[in-house]
Structure 1
Amino acid sequence: MAGLLGSALAGVVFGLALAAPPGPMNAVIAEESVVRGWNAGVKAGFGAFTADATFFVLAFLGVVAFVEQFPTIQALMVGAGGLLMLYFAYGAAQEVEGTFRADEELAELEEESTGFRKAFVLALTNPYQILFWLTIGVGLLEPGRVDVLAKTPYVGADLAGLLVVETGSPALIVGFFGGIALWATGFPAALVTAERRVESFAPVVAGLSALVLGGFGVVFLWDAATSLV
């Protein structure tokens, strides 16, 4: 029982470590949260969550490993992701002046939110998530060991060796998706709380989201172009 609980808790940490670092997914979640409210932010978060669940099923079926054999397809997916990010960056820039409205107007904005679809489609073409499921994600399904914090974007090298867990455990996988779900609900809540206290918070976050999405879009398009050439 203790082993299962330890694996589940390690999975939660792993899920949080994957979901928390700054990037295009969190930029979309942040924009939706501060402009349209907590519900819209959570929907965007679960769009990314659903994409990860889709990748998990594809990895289980062996489709992810099959796609790894075709670099051209991967490059085209990366290019499509870059174009989508530029498009969403433009949309975020249009909402720089956005802020919380009256309850009635906020309800209308939440109904108009496309955050779930936006995050889901973007996540399916996000090279970081594709690369994760082509490598580490597939390994979660097989008996072995994984250095959880070493896979954290940007700071993984400094955290290597701190949390090594056994893979192939259902408890680890459940905890992993639980960690992502925790971030998908907690991150929007923190943003909404901050927005209510700081009047200029929403336009600042929308502007930063536009910059992040635009920057990643350019990088991904460049990566796709160099891979195809």
Structure 2
Amino acid sequence: MMLESLIEGFLLGVGAAVPLGPINILLMNRALRNYPQAVITGLGAMSADALYLSLILFGMIQMLQGGILSYLLSLGSIAFLFFLAYRIYQDRNRHLSSEFKEDRQAKRSVFLQGLFLTLVNPYTLAFWLSIGSYTTSKELDPMMTLIGMFSAIVLWVTLIPYFVHRSKHRISMRVRYILNVFSSMLLLGFGISLIVEMIDWRLL
């Protein structure tokens, strides 16, 4: 049962990490220019996951379901997605060889971006709630499942940005420009989809 739980947890972690979403767009975009800060961004996102997990374990997650707090989370997510879309678009003409700052303040900033983007994303909350139900229904070992999940996520936020960063020399400025514009449009799209969901929710 422990091995089965570990494997299932790992596969769930892969399923959570791989799909294209706001945090992965941010990770890939950052990895093109600075690998360590891409990893720090991923660790910030993982910290948000750990926080939601803690709330589930202590039975406090219900206070975030529905109501005004859920509405505020969506508003925060929309605002932050639009902000990141603007920043990535603004960065479209910057050369890949130009470096990010390596000071503590810069590292703290990218960590908080990963943390906040994941924390205010309502889909993160829905994911962890579904994981809790899935683990209970299949009678998996909770600890081994979580170890498997976070192992997969750690591998994703360290290995994928590494491969992206190592391939940056093959990317021309023209391609870089297109990738930045495409990334900013995707982030705008995620934000707009949340607005549509909020409007539907208010009309129900």
- TM-score normalized by the length of structure 2: 0.87
From the superposition, tell whether residues 32 and 24 of structure 1 become closer, same or farther in structure 2 (CA, over 3 Å). Answer: same
Contact 1:60 1:138 in 2 (8 A): no
Deviations 1:131-183 (A, max 9, x none): 112x313326x6331xxxxxxxxxxxxxxxxxxxx434311111111111111
Q: What is the RMSD computed on CA atoms of the aligned residues? A: 2.0
3-state SS of the aligned residue for 1:57?
helix
What count of residue pairs does the alignment treat as equivalent? 199
Query: In structure 1, which of residues 7, 17, 31 is the aligned counterpart of residue 5 of structure 2?
Result: 7
Contact 1:88 1:213 in 2 (8 A): yes
AA in 2 matched with 1:138: G
AA in 2 matched with 1:186: L
Q: Unaligned regions of 5+ residues in structure 1, if any?
A: 146-165
- Counterpart of 1:85 in structure 2 is 81
Contact 1:28 1:115 in 2 (8 A): no
3-state SS of the aligned residue for 1:143?
helix
Contact 1:82 1:219 in 2 (8 A): no
- Counterpart of 2:54 in structure 1 is 57
* In structure 1, C-alpha distance between the alignment counterparts of 2:120 and 2:148, rounded to whole Å: 24
Q: Deviation at 1:204?
A: 3.4
Alignment of 1:76-115 (within 5 A): 76-101=72-97, 106=99, 108-111=100-103, 112=106, 114-115=109-110
Per residue, is there more helix in 1 or in 2? 2
Q: Deviation at 1:110?
A: 4.0
Large movers: runs of 4+ above 4 Å: none
Q: Deviation at 1:123?
A: 0.7
3-state SS of the aligned residue for 2:89?
helix
Q: Deviation at 1:203?
A: 3.3
* In structure 2, C-alpha distance between the alignment counterparts of 1:51 and 1:99, rounded to whole Å: 31
